[in-house]
Structure 1
Amino acid sequence: MSATVLVINSGSSSIKYQLVDPDAGTALASGLVERIGEDAGHIEHKAGSTKTERHDRVADHGDGLRQVLALFEEVGPALSEAGIVAVGHRVVQGGKEFAGPALVTDDVVATIERLAPLAPLHNPANLTGIRVGRELLPDVPHVVVFDTAFFQTLPDAAATYALDREVAEKYSVRRYGAHGTSHQYVSAKAAEVLGRDSLKQIVLHLGNGASASAVVGGKAVDTSMGLTPLEGLVMGTRTGDIDPAVVFHLKRNAGMSVDEIDDLFNKRSGLKGLTGENDLREVHRLIAEGDTGARVGLDVYTYRLRKYIGSYAAVMGGLDVLSFTAGVGENDDIVRAEAVAGLEFLGVEIDPERNAGRKKEPTVISPDGAKVTVMVIPTNEELAIARQAMSLI
């Protein structure tokens, strides 16, 4: 049997997982544990064409992972026979300390914990998955793969904020980026499909969280997310770029606390704040019904995309490939069309027939002979994590 990697993505109240064959590029099983700590939990486990669901209480992450391991043994594929050679863990924030995957040691765990203030919603949950995984699967190496690692190559001009230097250094304030595993996978896949290495690429990772990257010759030179995943594009519930003085304004004039503003910017803004919906399918429905607020919301969303495409083309001194990925990027042909509308002067255009519908495979959606190749490339962060884990061990 081929060597496999169990990939674990631990969130604050959920665990996503896949059993991956890195050589074949396939998932042998996958699943999701939701509503951890609530009265009624939910576990969905897929193996081949078989889907198994459980609705029992999941007390904590340890209980959730124990139930997952029991499902592997009960409905398959049995982990004891799956040839697992590593467990790969996603960690959001690796700071400046990690430029690639790392073998989990007590020192690595301590460093991830020390970096938690830079990703307070993510790193603690990621650590929980690591600790539980090491406890339940002690006989295989555990590897961490960082969302920020791909962006360690950013030049100083892109990574540095114009903030008092001593303050920035003391509190580790700089651009770290996020979704790096996806941006790395998609840019590499584009180069593979096109058979070219020296490409100037823009990758648009558009899901509920959204980010853009500029990649030259396989190395990231800019990205839209910053110290945290709040900066950059308009997202499902996050503001993206906003005047930082809005914080002062709301505190002084609305009497809002820092925590209340944090909640507003991260959970009640973006498309949700503009339209009442953070699901673009619902936004499209509202527009079709004549909702002018929803129309403005989508315009703001796609306007921000065009701004980043133009600015990154300028940063790179040109553009060869523009790729859409993640839930919105792969499935929403309206967003793709509106994101590039008016960019013909950059050589960016799409063929309406090629653009139509969802894309499950890497697909060129620009016309033949276009100056810029526009693509839809489904991301596969779990496969990327598995392959990075294999490369390390």
Structure 2
Amino acid sequence: MSDLILVVNAGSSSIKFKLYRVAGADPALVLGGGMSGIGTAPALTVKDGSGALVENRRFAPDEVPDASAAQHHVADWLIHHVGDQRVAAVGHRVVHGGPVYAEPVRVDDTVLRRLESFIPLAPLHQLGNLDPIRVLRQRRPDLPQVACFDTAFHRGHPELADRFALPRALHDEGVRRYGFHGLSYESVAGRLREIAPETAAGRVVIAHLGSGASLCALQDGRSQDSTMSFTALDGLPMGTRCGALDPGVVLHLIEHKGMTPAEVGHMLYHESGLLGLSGLSNDVRTLLASDRPEAAMAIDFFCRRVAQAAAALAVTLGGLDAIVFTAGIGENAPEIRRRTVAALGWAGLSLDHAANAASAARIDGPGSRAQVWVVPTDEELMIARHTMRLLGRAAPDATA
């Protein structure tokens, strides 16, 4: 019987997982699911590789009050379901690899301590990413665990893309632009090479639009620049995160409004973005369905910022051959794509509106000066591939 690889993508309010069978050079999906609504309306949902429902269980809030409890429930379910089948390794999404890690790494005590030191750089994500690693190390210290980093895809940027206009000593200490969503960009870049190799070799901007949102400029499939930088706060406005902000605002809030750094941090991470703009919701679906002017303004603000960022990254690339939409909003919100491309109409971009409404793979209209694509991302598959390769279970070009 072939081995299994478990992939864990953990956050503060949800845990996603996928189980893959090691089959040849590429992993085959066995099942996938997750625990959502931790602490509020916990639910464990699992589907098999064909999409058929395997488990749909709801819990009382006090049964799954926090991420730690959720991890134990998920682990218990997987142990029962996997039975005698051998899990060869576990791959984890870890948001921040800091200045140290430019590729996936097998976790040991030293690696875990280093990753913990990066928690201040990604406080919303890093702690949640590392908790399942600790739980599994306690339960199964013999089980290989692999950390795959959202920052790694952006290593190797030109120096101009990585610098802040701050004293050089700070850059040497690690205060620099890192970029995030790298596993998603790597997934989409690989898929684009499969379906449109000539396009993938050119100047491409990928828009990863979800609760967290960023854009990345790629030349020949390699990251050249990104809208996120030192932390996952920068760049686009997001569900509850502010995006690019005059640093003077932070100083004003602390010096003149009397807010503590912790209070400012909570506001920028949890009370801003689409939620702050609309005063209604951080969910694009809710905002698009609302007739409140604040909701309409929030959507317009978001789409304008996406278009502005795409234009800026086109400067980095020296032109634009294609823009690719991905992630929850990018893949499933035709209206967001329509408004964003309309804002780039001055550059000659246009949509095939029927194709866009159907979320087809290619949605640019006749005569558009750049192609427009919708390409689903699969971060978990990338993690499984990296884990296989690190353990010597896949060919070196399995992710190509």
Q: Do these two structures clear the TM 0.5 threshold for a shared fold by scoring above it? A: yes
Q: How far does residue 129 in structure 1 lie from its aligned partner after superposition?
A: 0.9
CA gap of 1:368–1:191, structure 2 versus 1, over 3 A, is: farther
- Contact 1:22–1:386 (CA<8 Å) still a contact in 2? no
- Structure 1 SS opposite 2:84: helix
Give the one of 44, 67, 89 matched to 2:73. Answer: 67
How far apart in 2 are the matches of 1:150 and 1:239? Answer: 24
- Contact 1:331–1:357 (CA<8 Å) still a contact in 2? no
Equivalent runs, 1:248-259 vs 2, <5 Å: 248-259=251-262
Query: Is structure 2 residue 3 aligned with structure 1 residue 9?
Result: no
Give the one of 144, 165, 169 matched to 1:162. Answer: 165
Equivalent runs, 1:1-393 vs 2, <5 Å: 1-21=1-21, 26-34=28-36, 38=39, 41-47=42-48, 48-55=52-59, 57-58=63-64, 63-74=69-80, 76=81, 78-81=82-85, 83-170=86-173, 172-196=174-198, 197-276=200-279, 277-286=281-290, 289=291, 291-358=292-359, 363-368=361-366, 370-393=368-391
4+ runs of 1 displaced by more than 6 Å?
A: none
- Structure 1 SS opposite 2:103: coil
- Contact 1:182–1:380 (CA<8 Å) still a contact in 2? yes
CA gap of 1:283–1:62, structure 2 versus 1, over 3 A, is: closer
How far apart in 2 are the matches of 1:354 and 1:164? Answer: 49
Unpaired segments ≥5 residues, structure 2: 392-400
How far apart in 1 are the matches of 2:385 and 2:295? Answer: 41
- Contact 2:205–2:216 (CA<8 Å) still a contact in 1? yes
With the length of structure 1 as denominator, give the TM-score of the two structures: 0.90
CA gap of 1:263–1:199, structure 2 versus 1, over 3 A, is: same
CA RMSD of aligned residues (A): 2.3
- Contact 1:22–1:387 (CA<8 Å) still a contact in 2? no
- Contact 2:43–2:56 (CA<8 Å) still a contact in 1? no
Q: How far does residue 263 in structure 1 lie from its aligned partner after superposition?
A: 1.6
Unpaired segments ≥5 residues, structure 1: none
The aligned length equals 382
Q: How far does residue 79 in structure 1 lie from its aligned partner after superposition?
A: 4.9
Q: How far does residue 177 in structure 1 lie from its aligned partner after superposition?
A: 1.2
Instruction: State the percentage of identical aligned residues.
Output: 38
- Contact 1:45–1:71 (CA<8 Å) still a contact in 2? no
Q: How far does residue 44 in structure 1 lie from its aligned partner after superposition?
A: 2.9
- Contact 2:304–2:343 (CA<8 Å) still a contact in 1? no
CA gap of 1:218–1:79, structure 2 versus 1, over 3 A, is: farther
With the length of structure 2 as denominator, give the TM-score of the two structures: 0.88
CA gap of 1:25–1:204, structure 2 versus 1, over 3 A, is: farther
Q: How far does residue 64 in structure 1 lie from its aligned partner after superposition?
A: 3.7
How far apart in 2 are the matches of 1:182 and 1:352? Answer: 26
